[in-house]
Amino acid sequence: MMAIRSQDIPPELLARVGRSAARTRSDRPRATLPQSRMNKWEQLYAQDLRMRTAAGEVAWFGFEPIKFRLAGKTFYTPDFMVVLTDMTVEFHEVKGFMRDDAAVKLKVVAEHFPFVFRLVTKAKGESGWSITTIGQTQAAGD
């Protein structure tokens, strides 16, 4: 498996997305896990990404490797950075339930950064995942 370190990412890209995986605070209290620790849905999706890596579909993936600055002190940290075998970079957000603030951040980041963003939810009544492309990449045929 290929690992991408922050020093391997072009400086102009790092300048746009930042390096830390810190979570943003919300104005309402909610239960949170310690930084960089996967919840149940993220663990299940990571297993799926490992299988896709073994099958040759995914070259590399990482959990919360970068964060995007949206404005001032507002950041968005995608759950997974996924590098496909053709070196396309995608960001996958795994949700059991979508809060309003998370939906807004996902739409804003998709509008302002030139990557593919996908919302991943557990498919109802099925064993697989429901994956929705968010933002401007929808017009490109996804």
Give domain status of residue 67, yes or no: yes
Give domain status of residue 29, yes or no: no
Burial 17-50 (b: 16+ CB within 10 A, else e): beeebeeeeeeeeeeeeeeeebeebbeebbeebe
Query: The domain spanning residue 120 has which CATH number?
Result: 3.40.1350.10
Which tens digits make up the pLDDT trace of 93-121?
999 877 888 888 899 999 999 899 999 98
Beta pairing class for 129-134 and 116-122: antiparallel
Give domain status of residue 17, yes or no: no
Which tens digits make up the pLDDT trace of 41-82?
999 999 999 999 999 999 999 999 999 999 898 899 999 999
Residue 24 pLDDT: 46
Residue 104 pLDDT: 87
Nearest alpha-carbon partner for 17 in 85, 113, 92, 95: 113
**Residue 20 pLDDT grade (very low, low, confident, very high; cuts 50, 70, 90):** very low
